[in-house]
Amino acid sequence: MADAQTAPEDLFDAAFEIWDRAYVPYSHYKVAAAIRTPSGRIYAGVNVENASYPVGTCAEAGAIAAMVAGGDRDIVEIAVLADGGELVTPCGGCRQRIMEFGGPHAAVWAGDLHGRRRRSTAGELLPLAFGPKAMASEPAPD
């Protein structure tokens, strides 16, 4: 189920490298994510659960936090790795985070441990997203 475009296996490799470090004592559902920035740097994160649901952190949010802490602010593409029956895309909150740092054209890859890959864009996953333009004091030109 590979996409027409070549999946970024280096991002999936980075996610797989830390996938087993996910802290999931409640759901037992591990997720890892890896981001590429315009400089080519890669940042990764895993999901971290907490007994006080919903205080946990998604893998995508962890990768974005690592990116910001590393001094980068722009997402070119992100790979999300999980294992289950369906390929997993980011939750609504993480879609909003990806839009904030990557815009509607950022590539969002979903993948599993069996090599299945699917590509979407942030704009496809979150149409009509709320963003900085919505907060501008002047209407954006059409």
Domain count, the chain: 1
Report helix, strand and coil shares of the chain as percent, to nearest 5. Answer: 30, 20, 50
What confidence tens digit (pLDDT) does each residue in 47-99 have?
A: 999 999 889 999 999 999 999 999 999 999 999 999 988 999 999 999 999 99
User: Nearest 5°: phi and psi at 20?
Assistant: -70, -10
Structural domain span for residue 102: 9-135
In a domain, 142, yes or no: no
Residue 130 lies in a domain: yes
Catalytic: which of 9, 60, 77, 100? 60
Residue 4: pLDDT over 60 = no
Residue 58 lies in a domain: yes
The CATH number of residue 118's host domain is: 3.40.140.10
Instruction: Give the global pTM.
Output: 0.90
Tokens for 50?
A: 């907490």
How far, in Å, CA of 57 to CA of 62, rounded? 7
Please report whether residue 140 resides in a domain.
no
Tell me what pLDDT residue 113 has: 95
Contact between 83 and 30 under an 8 Å Cβ cutoff? The reply is: yes
69 φ/ψ angles, rounded to the nearest 5 degrees: -65, -30
Q: Does 2 reside within a domain?
A: no
Please indicate, yes or no, if residue 16 is contained in any of the structural domains.
yes
Active site residue 100: no
